[in-house]
Structure 1
Amino acid sequence: MEAAVTSGSVPDIKLLVKKIPSISVNNTKETIMIKIVKIFGNNSDISQYTVELLREKLLNSDFNVVDSNNADLIISVGGDGTFLQTLRETDFNPKPLYVGIQCGHLGFLQEINIDEIDIFIENIKNMIYNIKKMSILRTIIETKSGINQFCALNETVIREKDLKALHVNLMINDSLVEKFFGDGIIVSTPVGSTAYNLSADGSIVYPTLDVLQITHLAPINSSSYRSLNNSIIVPSEMIICLIPESDYSSDILVSVDGYSTVVPCVKKIEIVSNSNHIKSLILEKYCFWTRIQEKFL
C-alpha cells in the first residue's frame, strides 16, 4: 500500500526509491581463455623496449606470441594514437580482446601501466579481468563517383577541405535539424566523448550508454543560418546525415580518429553506429570517473 502524499507534506524517500528501476551500467563479467597474443608497438624507444619485454614475459608464461592478427588478445603498446592505429590495422575486428599498455602522453584508452605488466600477465593467465564493449562509428560518404566508408572508435570530424566555413544541412532520421554554417561538425561515440569532442565543449558521456553525440565547431548564427550552441545526444540507432549546400563547396575534409582525407564532390554523408563492437580488456580495478580525474583534473 502506497503512502498518500498531501499538499505540503514530505513523501517517505524509502517509498520513492522502491519505485525507481535499477539500471545496470557494469561491464560484462564474460571472460575467455587467452592463449594467442599479438603485440603492436610504435617507433618510440620506450614502446620498442616494452614490446620486447612484454614478448619475453608472455613467452615465459606459456602464451603463444604471433605476428598474424588471428589472436585471442591484441596488445597495443604506446599512447592513444597507437591504440587507434592498432584498431585500423586489424580492421576493427570484433572477435579478439584489445588492451593498451601506456607508453605515450595522455593514454586515456590505455589500460595498463608499464609497472603493472607482471600483474597484468598473471591476471589474464588466471582470467581475472572484465570485458568492456565499445561501439564503432561508421561513416558512409556518397559522392558523384561512388561510396567511401570509414570506421572510427572516437569520432568523425567533417570540415570544408580548405578549412573555410562549412555549409551543410544537418538531418537526423530524415528530419531537418538545422542549416549549419561554421568551422565543422564532430560526431562522437561515448568513448570518443573524452577526445576531440571534449576540447570542443562537448559533453562527457558514460561509456556504456548507447548514444551518439553531435558537437558543433565554431557555429555562426545569422539571419540565414541558425545553429545550436550545445551538443546534441541521440540514440545510436538514429542516422545522422549531412548534406552540403549546392551553392558552396562539396569537397569535404573527413577526419576519422585523427586520420584525415579529402573527399571531393560529396553528395551526402551518413554517420551511424556500427552493429559490431570491439571488446576491450579491463582490469577489475577500472573506474571511469577515476580515469577522468587522473587524466583531466
Structure 2
Amino acid sequence: MINYKTIYFFAPHGDETKEIKQDLSKLFDRLDIHTVESDKEADIIASIGGDGAFLQAVRRSNFRDDCVYLGIAADSNRHFYVDFHYQDIQALEEAFQKDDMDVRRYPTIEVKVNDNNPSYCLNEFTLRSSIVKTLKMDIYISDFFFEHFNGDGILVSTPTGSTGYNKSVGGAVVDPLIESMQVTELGSVNNNTYRTLGTSFLLNRQRPLTLLIDKNTDYYPVMSLDNEAISVQNTEKVELRLSKKHIQTLKLKDNTFWHKTQRNFL
C-alpha cells in the first residue's frame, strides 16, 4: 500500500461526530497518519457518516484524483461507498496494519449546463420537471438525433450509482469495471404521437449525451448532481459525458461491489 502520511476528516454533522473524529484521529496517529485541517493537504480524505456524507466529501474536495477517499459509517447500517464502521473501529485499524485493502477507481460523469463550466457527479445526474407537466426534449447521442422525449425527466447514473435511484425506476445494475454511464427514462409518454426507446441504455466515453429542452413551453427543470441540487435558470442544453476524471477509494479486499449488492438486495 502507498505510504499515506496525512488524513482529513469530513464530518458534516459537526458536534454529533466530534467524539468519533477524536477517536479516529488517535487511531490514525498510532498508524503514523496525522490529521490535517484542510482537505487539500490530505493523502486520505475520510468521510464520517453514510453514503451521503461520502458523496459530499468527494464533491466538497472537488473530486481530487491525487488522493484516496475512505468512508467510515457513524451507524451500523450497510452502505455502498462506505466499507468501515465506527462501531468496529478495531477492524479499521487492523485493515491498515495488515494492508488488507485495495485502491479502487470509480468513474465520474461530467455535466455541462448551457455554457457554464462543467460539474461532476459520482453517483447520478437527474433532470426533472418541477411543475405538473411533462418535459419535452430532444436527445442526441454524440451528434446523432436519437429521440424526442416527453415525460417526467431523465436520470444518468454511473455504475456505482446504478444501485440507487436508477435501480428503483427499472434501470440495470452495472459492474463498476464497465466504465459507462446509464441513461434511464423517468415517466416517459409512449403513444401514437410520442415514442421513446422505453428502456435504459449504456454509453461509453466516446458517446456523449446532449439534452436540448423544448423552449416552446415554459419549463422549470429541477436538476441534481448526486445529493445536491443545481440552481440554473433558463436551462436550454445539458451535455453529459463519462469523464476522464476518476476518484480513488480505499476498500476491503473481500468486500466488492457485488458483495454489497447481495447484502443490500438479496
Return the alpha-carbon distance in structure 2 between the equivalents of residues 149 and 63 of structure 1: 34
Count how many residue pairs are aligned between Structure 1 and Structure 2: 264
After superposition, give the CA deviation of every residue in 1:212-244 in whole Å (9 maximum; x if it has no partner).
100011111122211122111122321011001
Conserved 8 A contact 1:187-1:213:
yes
Letter in 1 for 2:34: N
Return the alpha-carbon distance in structure 2 between the equivalents of residues 106 and 120 of structure 1: 15
Aligned residue for 2:96, secondary structure, equals: helix
1:152 aligns with 2:152: no
Return the alpha-carbon distance in structure 2 between the equivalents of residues 106 and 230 of structure 1: 29
Conserved 8 A contact 2:7-2:36:
yes
Return the alpha-carbon distance in structure 1 between the equivalents of residues 88 and 46 of structure 2: 14
Distance 1:262 1:36, change over 3 A: closer
Structure 1 segments unaligned to the other structure (5+ residues): 1-30
Aligned residue for 2:2, secondary structure, equals: coil
Conserved 8 A contact 1:46-1:103:
no
CA shift, 1:77, in A, is 1.0
State which drifts further: 51-60 or 239-248: 51-60
TM-score between both structures, scaled by the size of structure 1:
0.83
CA shift, 1:57, in A, is 1.5
Return the alpha-carbon distance in structure 1 between the equivalents of residues 13 and 112 of structure 2: 32
After superposition, give the CA deviation of every residue in 1:47-87 in whole Å (9 maximum; x if it has no partner).
43322211122123322111111111111110111001101
After superposition, give the CA deviation of every residue in 1:190-229 in whole Å (9 maximum; x if it has no partner).
1110111111110000011111100011111122211122
| Corresponding residue to 2:5 among 32, 35, 45 | 35
Conserved 8 A contact 1:80-1:106:
no
1:98 aligns with 2:107: no
- CA RMSD, Structure 1 to Structure 2 (Å): 1.9
Task: Determine the structure 2 residue equivalent to 1:73.
Answer: 44
Distance 1:200 1:47, change over 3 A: farther
Conserved 8 A contact 2:80-2:257:
no
Return the alpha-carbon distance in structure 2 between the equivalents of residues 37 and 258 of structure 1: 24
| Corresponding residue to 2:29 among 59, 62, 74 | 59
Return the alpha-carbon distance in structure 1 between the equivalents of residues 205 and 168 of structure 2: 22
Larger radius of gyration: 1
| Corresponding residue to 1:187 among 156, 160, 167 | 156
Aligned residue for 2:236, secondary structure, equals: strand
1:109 aligns with 2:81: yes
Task: Determine the structure 2 residue equivalent to 1:119.
Answer: 91
1:3-18 alignment runs, 5 A limit? none
Percent identity of paired positions between Structure 1 and Structure 2: 30
Task: Determine the structure 1 residue equivalent to 2:182.
Answer: 213
Letter in 1 for 2:105: K
After superposition, give the CA deviation of every residue in 1:236-268 in whole Å (9 maximum; x if it has no partner).
321011001131235421111021134222221
Aligned residue for 1:278, secondary structure, equals: strand
Structure 2 segments unaligned to the other structure (5+ residues): none
Conserved 8 A contact 2:171-2:184:
yes
